[in-house]
């Protein structure tokens, strides 16, 4: 398959250099994360098959890549380095190898909280809402612009608070979109129920209007946009829920598959039930790398043991792609500054390699 040229939209010199570096990258077989054997990773593992292209995407099929280096939705520095880490591993070459045209838009820039910024001035407990809300408004505008053109929108985080912006933009362009939320956490807390006040645990609550956004500084813009309805979202991989999140999931009858369900039914049956529930609608997948077990994805800030295995993690992305209805994807919470090994190299590489592999799955990569 001939490689398609990557279109770079007025990229800064540093990012253009990074793209060139990624396009020259080659990867050979090496030890897989926690696998105890040789597995192909990176570009060496990319072997495309013909996955149905959603009818709502324009031809030729084009993916717009948006970098959202958000770090203020949680307390650990480093999630802002996630987009660059995934690009550097060979993202653009992987996507073109799978037959996609690539429109690289670069990273959005966000205003950090200043020394004089009030940490939070609304009801409950919500840290840096003005910084996070302002950034998510930028993300929403960018995502909506590219989705409205008929492009697949791939947003690289950044912490999971960016989903407030990505989904707001997708719902503005495709209001009936169904959401596959792949995560150890439900991210359903409101400022009144959140134990930590970190906004990466709140995007679904905001999108469902469990909190009035006009009462939260920085988030007022959300009030005029379509609301995410409970039947539009389904979870897989849950294993760390706060009390109020459990109540919301039950009371609103939200489809949620925990790791118990994965153990009981197997990932194949779980994904069949999840996708049947969402029905015949455009799909958005919000994939938090902490859905995966820390053995295979150690470089993330909210690790919870007992997560998706290497193959389960891949199957989730493969199954969603094979519907022919996936039109947008977030990959979030990759933090190259957090790792298990003392030298830091292997843990970071394993997590970023896995991220690239999961993205490739969503665009048509298969074993055979």
The backbone torsions φ and ψ at residue 102, rounded to the nearest 5 degrees and listed phi first, read: -120, 125
CB count in 10 Å sphere of residue 60:
10
160 a catalytic residue:
yes
Span between the terminal Cα atoms of the chain, in Å: 15
Instruction: Specify whether 288 is catalytic.
Output: yes
Instruction: Give me the catalytic one of 92, 160, 261, 314.
Output: 160
Please say if 240 is a catalytic residue: no
Q: Measuring CA to CA, how many Å separate 109 from each of 134, 137, 178, 300, 348?
A: 11, 12, 28, 22, 24
Cis omega (within 30 of 0) for bond into 60: yes
| Cα separation, 201 vs 126, whole angstroms | 10
Q: Which of 80, 107, 183, 245 is catalytic?
A: 183
- Find tokens 């009462």 and name the residue: 215
Residue 276 a catalytic site member: no
Catalytic residue among 144, 146, 200, 314: 200
Catalytic residue, candidates 288, 318, 349, 353: 288
- Catalytic hit among 103, 107, 187, 312: 187
Task: Report how far residue 116's alpha carbon sits from residue 99's, in angstroms, rounded to the nearest whole number.
Answer: 49
- Annotated active-site residue 280? The verdict is no
Catalytic residue among 244, 290, 312, 353: 290
What residues pair up with 292 in beta bridges, in sequence order?
Answer: 308
Choice among 159, 330, 333, 353 that is catalytic? 333
Q: What angle do CA 327, 212, 111 make, to 5 degrees?
A: 65
Among 92, 146, 185, 284, the one annotated catalytic: 185
333 catalytically annotated = yes
**Which residues in the chain belong to E strands, given as ranges?**
6-8, 30-31, 38-39, 62-68, 101-107, 152-157, 178-182, 233-238, 255-258, 283-288, 326-332
Catalytic residues: 160, 183, 185, 187, 200, 288, 290, 333
């Amino acid at each position: 398959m001939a490689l398609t040229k990557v279109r770079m939209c007025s990229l800064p010199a540093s990012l253009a250099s990074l793209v060139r570096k990624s396009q020259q990258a080659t990867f050979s077989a090496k030890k897989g994360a926690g696998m105890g054997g040789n597995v192909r990773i990176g570009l060496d593992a990319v072997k495309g098959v013909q996955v149905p292209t959603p009818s709502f995407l324009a031809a030729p099929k084009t993916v717009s890549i948006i970098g959202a280096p958000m770090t203020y939705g949680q307390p650990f520095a480093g999630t802002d380095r996630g987009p660059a880490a995934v690009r550097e591993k060979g993202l653009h070459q992987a996507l073109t190898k799978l037959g996609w045209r690539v429109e690289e838009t670069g990273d959005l820039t966000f205003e950090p909280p200043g020394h004089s910024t009030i940490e939070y001035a609304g009801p409950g407990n919500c840290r840096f809402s003005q910084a996070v809300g302002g950034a998510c408004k930028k993300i929403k505008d960018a995502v909506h612009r590219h989705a409205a053109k008929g492009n697949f929108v791939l947003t690289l985080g950044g912490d999971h608070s960016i989903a407030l912006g990505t989904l707001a933009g997708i719902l503005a362009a495709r209001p009936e979109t169904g959401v596959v939320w792949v995560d150890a956490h439900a991210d359903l807390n409101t400022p009144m129920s959140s134990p930590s006040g970190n906004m990466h645990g709140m995007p679904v609550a905001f999108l469902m209007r469990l909190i009035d956004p006009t009462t939260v500084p920085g988030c007022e813009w959300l009030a005029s946009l379509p609301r995410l309805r409970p039947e539009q979202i389904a979870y897989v991989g849950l294993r760390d829920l706060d009390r109020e999140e459990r109540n919301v999931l039950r009371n609103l009858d939200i489809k949620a598959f925990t790791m118990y369900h994965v153990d009981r039914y197997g990932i194949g049956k779980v994904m069949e039930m999840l996708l049947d529930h969402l029905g015949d609608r455009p799909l958005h997948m919000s994939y938090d790398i902490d859905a995966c077990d820390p053995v295979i994805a150690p470089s993330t800030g909210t690790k919870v043991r007992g997560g998706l295995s290497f193959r389960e993690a891949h199957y989730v992305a493969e199954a969603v792609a094979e519907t022919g209805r996936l039109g947008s994807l977030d990959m979030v919470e990759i933090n190259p500054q957090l790792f298990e090994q003392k030298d830091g190299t292997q843990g970071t590489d394993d997590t970023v390699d896995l991220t690239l592999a999961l993205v490739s799955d969503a665009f048509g990569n298969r074993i055979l």
